[in-house]
C-alpha cells in the first residue's frame, strides 16, 4: 500500500484516536512520508520508536497490533500458557501506563491472565516478577535510554528473557498477518476483566531481598563512602535508594531528577553514555565530596559511573566499569571460596577484550554473544539445563550487566550495589576505582574502547544504512589506517575469513554486524543500532601506554569516519 493510501486510511478510519487524527491533519508531505513509509519493526530490544501517529510510530494502534500478535502467540501455546499469563510493567514515559493497561485489557479479551504493576517499575524487576509468578511471558513499556520523544514495547519469555529471534519470529509473523491495526479493540467483558491482577509491594520485597543477597562482603563497614545517585527521572529511584539504605550505604539522591517526569526536564540526557547525564550529579558530588556518582537510565537496566580520583571526577565507560566489576567480583569470590566449578562469563562481540583477559586470570571462560542481553539470557538458560558451566557474570559495553541470574536482563540495581561494595572495599585499601583500572592496564595492556555513530533519519537514512553495509561487503576492507586486516567476521552472512579462506561462522543467528581484526591486536566493528536510527562503529585498541593506545584509536576513528559516511 502506498504512503498516501495508508495516510488516508488512518485519517478516515472510525476507530482512529482523536489526538492522533488531530496530529495527522497537521502533517505536511515529508512528515506523512516519514510516518507511513514503513511499519515500525522489532529490533534488538523489541519495538521502539517515536511517539505519534502513523504505522512507523509508537501509538495505541501499533501497540495493539503488536500485542494482538503476542496474544495469538500465547494462545497457540495452549490453555496453560493463557492461565500462567503475562507480567506487565512500565516506565515514566508519556503513555507508558496507558499502553500497559491497554495491553492487559487486550490480553484479557483473549482470556489471558495478566499481572500489572500498580505504578512504574524497572525492567529488571519485570523480569524478576514474571519468573517469581511463573508467568508465560512479560511486557515492558519503555524506550530505555532514548530521548523523551520515544517509547517502546519489549516482550519477554517464560524465563524472564527478552524474546530471542526464534520466538520473536513467531510473534512477528502473526503481527505481520494483521491487516488493519485500527480495527483492533481492547474491550474485555466484565468477567474477563477479573483476569487483570494488580501487583506491587509484595513483588518489590522479594526483588529487594534477592538483590541484597548478591553482596559478598555483607558485613563490611560502608559508612566511609558517599554515593551520589541519579535515577534520571526514571524507575530506579525507589529500588536503588531502598537497597542502599537497607545495605547501610550513605546515598545522596539528586532530588531534581527523582521526579517521574516524562519530559526529563532536569537532565540534558537520560542516557548514561551521554556526558550530559552527569551534569547535575557532578554538581552534587563536588558539593558533598562524594566518592562515586551512580546513575541509571529510565528503565533501570543500565548504570553509569563517575569516580573521584586525584580531586576530579572521571566518568567511566561501560567497558571500564565492567572490567572493574569483573576484577572485584571474581577476586572476592575466589578469596571467599565462592567461585563455582566451570565458571562462565558472557559478553558481546562489541565488548572490549580486557574483561575476557581479567576473567581468564581467575579461571573463568568467556563466551560471546550478539548485542542484546536476550542472547546472554538464552545462554544462561542453556547452562541452567545442561549444568555444563556455571554463570558468574554477564555484561555489555553499553553499561548493562547482571551479577546474579534471578533476573534475565541487565539489572542496574544489582550493578549499583556491587559497584558500591567495590568502592568501599578498595577505599579501605587506599585505592579508587580508577586506581584499580590503572592496575589492570599495567597488568593486561592499555585499552581505549570507544564508539562513533552516524545518525541516519527517515527513509533516506534507512537506504543509506543499507548502502554502507552492502558496500563494506562488496569491497572487503584489507587495511584500516595503514594497518592490515588479518581477519573479518560477518554476522549478516555468518561467515569469517581464515588465511584468505572463507568459512562458516557458527553459534550465532544472523545480525547486521561486521567486525575487523587488525594486525596490531585492535578490532573495529560496524553495526546499525537496534534502538535508534544510527550506524555505530566500535573500536577496541590496545597500546603500550594510554597515550599510544589513544593515538592509534584516533587514527582508526579518522579512517572509519571516511569509510562509514
Which of 260-274, 453-467, 542-556 is the least confident region? Answer: 453-467
Q: What is the DSSP letter of 531?
A: S
How high is the pLDDT of residue 45?
Answer: 64
Which of 195-199, 275-279, 465-469 is the least confident region? Answer: 465-469
For range 537-565, the mean pLDDT = 97
Other residues' Cβ atoms within 10 Å of the Cβ of residue 415: 30
Higher-pLDDT residue of 426, 565: 426
Angle formed by the axes of helices 29-36 and 458-474, nearest 10° = 50
Count of positions (residues) in the chain: 565
For range 100-129, the mean pLDDT = 98
Give the model confidence (pLDDT) of 45-81 as tens digits.
Answer: 689 999 999 999 999 999 999 999 999 999 999 999 9
How high is the pLDDT of residue 43?
Answer: 65
Return the HEC string of 328-369: HHHHHHHHCCCCCCCEEEEEECCCCCHHHHHHHHCCCEEEEE
Q: 73: helix, coil or strand?
A: helix
How high is the pLDDT of residue 288?
Answer: 97
Cell of 10: 488512518
Helix-, strand-, coil-residue percentages of the chain, each rounded to 5: 40, 25, 35
For range 270-286, the mean pLDDT = 96
Closest CA to 295 of 245, 372, 236: 236
The answer to whether residue 1 scores a pLDDT higher than 90 is no
Cell of 546: 594510554
Domains of the chain (ranges, CATH numbers): 3-199 (3.40.120.10), 208-216+223-444 (3.40.120.10), 446-563 (3.30.310.50)
> Concatenated DSSP letters for 251-317?
EEE-GGG-S--TT-TT-S-S-TTSGGGGHHHHHHHHHHT-SEEEEE-TTS-BEEEEEEETTEEEEEP
Specify whether the CB–CB gap between 92 and 171 falls below 8 A: no
533 pLDDT band, cuts 50/70/90, is confident
How high is the pLDDT of residue 46?
Answer: 80
For range 208-228, the mean pLDDT = 97
How high is the pLDDT of residue 279?
Answer: 97
249 pLDDT band, cuts 50/70/90, is very high
Catalytic member of 89, 127, 144, 398: 144
Which of 30-44, 330-344, 381-395, 544-558 is the least confident region? Answer: 30-44
Give the model confidence (pLDDT) of 134-156 as tens digits.
Answer: 999 999 999 999 999 999 999 99
563 pLDDT band, cuts 50/70/90, is very high
Q: What is the DSSP letter of 58?
A: B
Where is 506: in which H helix or E strand? Answer: none
- Specify whether 236 is catalytic: no
Cα gap 425→328, rounded to integer Å: 9
Cα gap 294→22, rounded to integer Å: 41
Return the HEC string of 122-190: CHHHHHHHHHHCCCCEEEEECCCCCCCCEEEEEEECCCCCECCHHHHHHHHHHHHCCCCHHHCCCCCCH
Where is 549: in which H helix or E strand? Answer: helix 546-563
Cα gap 49→144, rounded to integer Å: 11
Q: What is the DSSP letter of 56?
A: T
Q: What is the mean pLDDT of the chain?
A: 96
The answer to whether residue 5 scores a pLDDT higher than 70 is yes
In the chain, what is the straight-line distance between the N-terminal and C-terminal CA atoms, in Å? Answer: 31
Give the model confidence (pLDDT) of 363-388 as tens digits.
Answer: 999 999 999 999 999 999 999 999 99
Cα gap 530→413, rounded to integer Å: 24
Cα gap 317→448, rounded to integer Å: 10
pTM, 2 dp: 0.96
How high is the pLDDT of residue 102?
Answer: 98
Give the model confidence (pLDDT) of 123-136 as tens digits.
Answer: 999 999 999 999 99
Percent of the chain residues past pLDDT 70, beyond the cut: 99
Other residues' Cβ atoms within 10 Å of the Cβ of residue 547: 11
Rounded (10°) CA dihedral 162, 164, 167, 168: 70
Percent of the chain residues past pLDDT 90, beyond the cut: 95
Q: 500: helix, coil or strand?
A: coil
For range 254-282, the mean pLDDT = 97
For range 337-364, the mean pLDDT = 98
How high is the pLDDT of residue 24?
Answer: 98
Amino acid at each position: 500500500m502506498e504512503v498516501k493510501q495508508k495516510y488516508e486510511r488512518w485519517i478516515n478510519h472510525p476507530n482512529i484516536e482523536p489526538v492522533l487524527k488531530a496530529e495527522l491533519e497537521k502533517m505536511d508531505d515529508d512528515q506523512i512520508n516519514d510516518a507511513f513509509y514503513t511499519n515500525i519493526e522489532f529490533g534488538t530490544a523489541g519495538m521502539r520508536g517515536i511517539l505519534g501517529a502513523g504505522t512507523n510510530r509508537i501509538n495505541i494502534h501499533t501497540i495493539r497490533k503488536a500485542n494482538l500478535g503476542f496474544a495469538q502467540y500465547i494462545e497457540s501455546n495452549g490453555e496453560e500458557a493463557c492461565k500462567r499469563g503475562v507480567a506487565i510493567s512500565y516506565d515514566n514515559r508519556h503513555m507508558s501506563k496507558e499502553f500497559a493497561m491497554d495491553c492487559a485489557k487486550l490480553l484479557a479479551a483473549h482470556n489471558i491472565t495478566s499481572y500489572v504493576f500498580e505504578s512504574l517499575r524497572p525492567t529488571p524487576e519485570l523480569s524478576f516478577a514474571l519468573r517469581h509468578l511463573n508467568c508465560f511471558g512479560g511486557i515492558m513499556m519503555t524506550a530505555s535510554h532514548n530521548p523523551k520523544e520515544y517509547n517502546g514495547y519489549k516482550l519477554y519469555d517464560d524465563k524472564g528473557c527478552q524474546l530471542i529471534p526464534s520466538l520473536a519470529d513467531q510473534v512477528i509473523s502473526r503481527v505481520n498477518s494483521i491487516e488493519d491495526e485500527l480495527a483492533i479493540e481492547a474491550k474485555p467483558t466484565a468477567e474477563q476483566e477479573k483476569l487483570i491482577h494488580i501487583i506491587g509491594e509484595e513483588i518489590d520485597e522479594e526483588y529487594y531481598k534477592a538483590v541484597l543477597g548478591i553482596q559478598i562482603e555483607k558485613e563490611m563497614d560502608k559508612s566511609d563512602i558517599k554515593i551520589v545517585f541519579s535515577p534520571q527521572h526514571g524507575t530506579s529511584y525507589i529500588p536503588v535508594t531502598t537497597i542502599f539504605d537497607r545495605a547501610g550505604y550513605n546515598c545522596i539522591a539528586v532530588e531534581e531528577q527523582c521526579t517521574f517526569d516524562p519530559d526529563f526536564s532536569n537532565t540534558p540526557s537520560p542516557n548514561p553514555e551521554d556526558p550530559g547525564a552527569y551534569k547535575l550529579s557532578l554538581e552534587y558530588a563536588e558539593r558533598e565530596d562524594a566518592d562515586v556518582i551512580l546513575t541509571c537510565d529510565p528503565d533501570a537496566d543500565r548504570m553509569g559511573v563517575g569516580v573521584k580520583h586525584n580531586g576530579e571526577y572521571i566518568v567511566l565507560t561501560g567497558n571500564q566499569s565492567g572490567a572493574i566489576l569483573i576484577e572485584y567480583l571474581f577476586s572476592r569470590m575466589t578469596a571467599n571460596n565462592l567461585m563455582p566449578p566451570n565458571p562462565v562469563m558472557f559478553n558481546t562481540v562489541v565488548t572490549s577484550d580486557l574483561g575476557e583477559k581479567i576473567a581468564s586470570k581467575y579461571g573463568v571462560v568467556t563466551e560471546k554473544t550478539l548485542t542484546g542481553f536476550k542472547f546472554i539470557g538464552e545462554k544462561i538458560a542453556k547452562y541452567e539445563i545442561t549444568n555444563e558451566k556455571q554463570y558468574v557474570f554477564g555484561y555489555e559495553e553499553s553499561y548493562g550487566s547482571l551479577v546474579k541470574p534471578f533476573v534475565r536482563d541487565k539489572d542496574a540495581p544489582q550493578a549499583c550495589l556491587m559497584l558500591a561494595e567495590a568502592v568501599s572495599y578498595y577505599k579501605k585499601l587506599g585505592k579508587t576505582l580508577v586506581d584499580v583500572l590503572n592496575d589492570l592496564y599495567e597488568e593486561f595492556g592499555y585499552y581505549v574502547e570507544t564508539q562513533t555513530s552516524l545518525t541516519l533519519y527517515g527513509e533516506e537514512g534507512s537506504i543509506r544504512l543499507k548502502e554502507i553495509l552492502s558496500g563494506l561487503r562488496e569491497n572487503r576492507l584489507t587495511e584500516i589506517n595503514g594497518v592490515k586486516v588479518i581477519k573479518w567476521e560477518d554476522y549478516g552472512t555468518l561467515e569469517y575469513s581464515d588465511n584468505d579462506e572463507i568459512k562458516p561462522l557458527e553459534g550465532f543467528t544472523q545480525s547486521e554486524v561486521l567486525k575487523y581484526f587488525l594486525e596490531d591486536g585492535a578490532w573495529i566493528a560496524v553495526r546499525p543500532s537496534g534502538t535508534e536510527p544510527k550506524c555505530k562503529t566500535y573500536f577496541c585498541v590496545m597500546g603500550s601506554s594510554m597515550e599510544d593506545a589513544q593515538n592509534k584509536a584516533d587514527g582508526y576513528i579518522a579512517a572509519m569516519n571516511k569509510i562509514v559516511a
